[in-house]
Amino acid sequence: MSELLGVAVLGAGHMGADHIRRLDRVVSGARVVAVADPDPERARRAVAGIDGVAVRAEVRDALAAPGVEAVLIASPGPAHEEALLAAFERGLPVLCEKPMVPDPAGALRVVEAEARLGRRLAQIGFMRRYDAEYRQLKSLLDEGGLGRPLMLHCVHRNVSSPPGFTSAMLIDSSVSHEIDAARWLLGQELTAVTVLRPRPSAGAPEGLLDPQFVLFETDGGALVDVEVFVNCGFGYQVRCEAVCETGSARIGEEQAVRVTARAADRRAVPQDYLVRFADAYDREVQAWVDATRRGRVTGPSAWDGYAASVVAGAGVRALETGGRVAVDLPRRPALYG
Query: Which residues, numbered 231-250, are part of the site for a second copy (CB under 8 A)?
Result: 232-235, 237, 243, 245-250
Binding residues among 89-128 for a second copy as defined by CB under 8 A: none
Binding characters for a second copy, 48-87, by CB under 8 A (x = yes): -xxxx-----------------------------------
Sheet of strand 94-96: strand arrangement: 54-56, 30-36, 5-10, 70-73, 94-96, 122-124
Query: Which is nearest to 20 in space by CA: 9, 28, 36?
Result: 9
Asked if 213 interacts with a second copy (CB under 8 A), we say yes
Asked if 286 interacts with a second copy (CB under 8 A), we say yes
Asked whether 179 and 224 are in contact (CB, 8 A), the reply is: no
Q: How far apart are CA 147 and CA 248, in angstroms?
A: 10
Q: How far is the CB of 69 from a second copy (least distance, A)?
A: 15
Q: How far is the CB of 100 from a second copy (least distance, A)?
A: 27
Asked if 206 interacts with a second copy (CB under 8 A), we say no
In this chain, which of 206, 263, 295, 331 binds a second copy, going by CB under 8 A? 263
Asked if 220 interacts with a second copy (CB under 8 A), we say yes
Contact range with a second copy by CB under 8 A, out of 71-79, 107-115, 161-169, 262-270: 262-270
Q: How far apart are CA 271 and CA 235, in angstroms?
A: 5
Q: Please list the residues that pair with 246 across neighbouring strands.
A: none
Q: How many CB atoms lie within 10 A of CB 322?
A: 10
Asked if 144 interacts with a second copy (CB under 8 A), we say no
In this chain, which of 119, 253, 295, 337 binds a second copy, going by CB under 8 A? 253
Kind of pairing, strands 30-36 and 54-56? parallel
